[in-house]
Amino acid sequence: MQIQKVILCILCLFQSSLLLAQPICSPVDSVDVFIGTSNSRWMLGPYATCPFGMVQLGPDNQGSSQEYNWMGGYEYAINSVDGFSHLHAWTMAGLRIMPTTADLVYKNRPTDSPYKGAEAGYHSRILKESEMGSPGYYSVYLYDHEVKAEMAVTERSTIQRYVFPEKKESRILIDLLFPGEYAWSISDARITRVSDTELEGYAMSHAAGFNDYKLCFVIQFSKAFDTFNGWNKDGLQRAISSIEGKGDVGAFVSWSTEKDEEIVVRTGISLVSTEQARLNLETEMALFGWSLEAVKEAGRTKWNELLSRIKVEGGTSEDRLKFYTNLYRVFAAKQSWNDVNGLYRDAAENIQELKYCENICGGDAFWNSFWNINGVLSLIAPDIMENWVGTQLEMFEHTGWTCKGPAGIEYSGIMEGSHEIALMVSAFQKNIIKDRETAEKIYTAIKFMMMNEGEKVHGGWAGNPQLREYMKFGYVPYEFGQTNKTLDYAFDDYCVAQMAKALGKKEDHKYFIKRSENYKNVFNKNLKFVVPKDSEGNWLESYDEFSNYSFVEGNGWQYSFYVPHDVDGVVELMGEELFNDRMDEGFKKSEEYKFAAHALDRTTGERAEFYINQGNEINMQAAFLFNYSGKPWLTQKWSRAILDTYYGATPYFGWEGDEDEGQMGAWFVMSSMGLFEMRGGTEQRPELELTSPLFDKITIKLDQKYYSGKEFVIVAHNNSKENKYIQGIKLNGKRLKSPRIYFDQIAAGGRLEFEMGPEPAERHGVVED
């Protein structure tokens, strides 16, 4: 935990004790933006950002080239900073700024390179104890340049303050091409001097083989610079009015500075034009002027309001730290890509104006987000759920397809299935989308997605590959594609069927609900596992359930439990006893490895057995499957074990694997409240599984526009680390007979009470009347 957060909480506790009141620390103060930032992905760092902000401004310190730098970006263990870049979206990077005072260097090298002095590059060592971060803010002291750097942000703009030493030449570098996580290049770029206090420019970028975007920017300075200089393939050019080129292009401005002189920088960005970037900056900074403190406080207030929609009480201080940090991550990794006036660029690079939503969103895949992120958004940010639906309708109307991973509003083709369908259906079933006209548009889009073979479009890949074979054979033969596609497409079929039923489309419902049973076509009734099958109907010979042959990021053992829409059907096919034995064995063998799939050491030469993998999407429902197989107390046992062991609270241990843009965080949030959506809220009356809450009391503030505007309170009586088993459950004073609750019962407001104990209650985990 950061020292400043510890001090702040101690002060809160001390002050409260003097007032004889309950100790209070704001939820925003229980976020540690450094948790899990060692060995993390490009998207996860201590970056200053707003909820779903376009800007994610912060430090980079990894990577040696513009080629593939897996897990590049920020690494907590490296005591150096290369610069502060504005974009940390999946597959997207751009606009690095770096203050420098040492010998002039406009090229950079890795921090571990053998070069010294000017040849080492413009990066700087940092004083680690000076590094601070909180939601919307970052600060650090750059040791080699003797500069204190601070930054705060709005959604599309930033303010940065650099405190310089006394120097004849102090500089701020603008670097347009630098290492990201994925390979990227610049085909055209330009930086222009508008005045002696303002620059503007753009960089036409190409990343990850599908993502083309034009990052436009305006940069303003609080002090008139003395010189404007730049570089491109022809080398350094001094005293210029503009610099342009492709590949490595950049610029720097310079001043003579006094000791502790502050120079403030404001930036605005846009994917539309430099004029739009300036509009974003002027609009969002109008209330703040050049005050970094004002921007920082506004960001803090915005984050605190969002995080305060869920109040947790009880548990340990570490539990609360993990809860609010994981909740923060749900909103900190994805972006909104429209400008303040609603303009954006679609996947065909045409400028559009928003029609279906207030903000058009982007990010990594929706792959199985119905098990985590969608649930959190539905509960406390239904407006963002509505924006996601609008994003898909915007893309479908203008470029012909919805999108499973709209990074930068492009067609990434990542990952499996079309699970944006689940999000749209859930938003309708939960009454977030209320009008029939929008519902019909959603249905038109999702039916199209499940009736048409995927194809290359606008430089990316849209739709579902091998859908043609899926419809022909009733499964995807392994010589055409991965076996798991059958399972993903069957779930998508189920989602379409549910919306068809809700809209009274009886024939469509009948057709798609039948297709949703296609998972049975790859379930081998002799082996009791999902097994690859060829187009002649022959099962794969020498099948190994722990092999990942014909499975994406998983194996046959894990995928055999992956039928979220019909768990009862899987229990029947496998047999309840075998189902429970396999699952419980998997959890027991995975526990010492923190449920991160490492059951045996590969170095021993033995067959590697991978069971529970909480760190990847296809296995995140595992703990809740026991609610369907007659042993819900095992759901309570193992969900609590995952919360306690898979998730950490230090920079070196936040998650045992890829956090995946809020997916791991959202699972923690939902499960620690005792909630989980097996079918992602897509059924006719959306239902949530119940498990043992981590906290003694949880209060959810419900939105007044979408829901009742009341509170839903969850109370766990006699709760502790030992008392993790549910003895009984009451909803609004009435005892429940199964460990489930309907979403509309939460949305109406009310009180859910758990009675906890140290031993399992073996009548479905509750006490019946």
Sequence-ordered list of residues with C-beta below 8 angstroms from that of 421, at least 6 positions apart, any chain: 402, 446, 449, 450, 492, 495, 496
Tell me if 300 sits within 8 A of 137, measured CB to CB.
yes
Tell me if 625 sits within 8 A of 647, measured CB to CB.
no
The pLDDT of residue 408: 96
Element (H, E) at 472: helix 467-473
Neighbours of 256 (CB within 10 A): 12
The pLDDT of residue 610: 87
Residue ranges in the chain whose pLDDT is less than 50: 1-23, 599-605, 764, 767-769
Residue in 273, 104, 268 with CA at minimum distance from that of residue 190:
273
Tell me how far apart the alpha carbons of residues 405 and 415 are, in angstroms, rounded to a whole number.
7
Token reading at 286: 């109008």
Sign of CA dihedral 375, 377, 378, 384: negative
The pLDDT of residue 763: 61
The pLDDT of residue 24: 62
Residue in 394, 449, 396 with CA at minimum distance from that of residue 421:
449
Q: In the 3-class helix/strand/coil scheme, how is 422-456 assigned residue by residue?
A: HHHHHHHHCCCCCCHHHHHHHHHHHHHHCCCECEE
**pTM of the predicted protein model:** 0.95
Tell me how far apart the alpha carbons of residues 756 and 315 are, in angstroms, rounded to a whole number.
14
The pLDDT of residue 48: 98
Tens-place pLDDT, residues 579-604: 999 999 999 999 999 999 753 444 44
- How is 46-92 classified by DSSP, letter by letter? S-EE-TT-S-EEEEE---SSSS--TT-S--TT--EE-EEEEE-STT-
Residue in 33, 31, 32, 36 with CA at minimum distance from that of residue 57:
33
The pLDDT of residue 112: 66
**Kind of pairing, strands 750-757 and 711-717?**
parallel
Beta bridge partners of 193: 199
Tens-place pLDDT, residues 437-467: 999 999 999 999 999 999 999 999 999 999 9
Integer Rg of the chain from CA: 26
Token reading at 417: 């299935």
Mapped onto helix, strand or coil, the DSSP state of residue 377 is: helix
